[in-house]
Amino acid sequence: MKKKLSVLTAALAVMVGTAAPSYADGVLGDVGSFLGSVTATIFDAPEGVLYYSLWRCPLKTTQYLADKFGDSKGFQQNVAGAVLGVPTGFLWGIPYGAVRGAGHGMKTGWEKPFSTESFIVVEKE
pLDDT in tens, 30-39: 777 888 888 8
Q: Which pLDDT score, from 0 to 100, does residue 102 have?
A: 93
Q: Which pLDDT score, from 0 to 100, does residue 29 have?
A: 63
CA-CA distance, 101 to 107, in Å (whole number)? 10
- Burial label for 72, CB within 10 Å (0-12, 13-18, 19+), is middle
**Looking at per-residue confidence, does 125 or 104 come out higher?**
104
Q: Which pLDDT score, from 0 to 100, does residue 20 have?
A: 58
> What is the SS3 assignment for 92?
helix
What residue ranges do the domains of the chain occupy? 41-114
Q: Which pLDDT score, from 0 to 100, does residue 122 have?
A: 72
The residues, any chain, with a CB within 8 Å of residue 103's CB and separated by 6 or more, are none
pTM above 0.85, yes or no: no
pLDDT in tens, 45-101: 999 999 999 999 999 999 999 999 998 899 999 999 999 999 999 999 999 999 999
CA-CA distance, 112 to 116, in Å (whole number)? 9
End-to-end CA distance of the chain: 53
- Burial label for 108, CB within 10 Å (0-12, 13-18, 19+), is buried
Q: Which pLDDT score, from 0 to 100, does residue 116 have?
A: 83
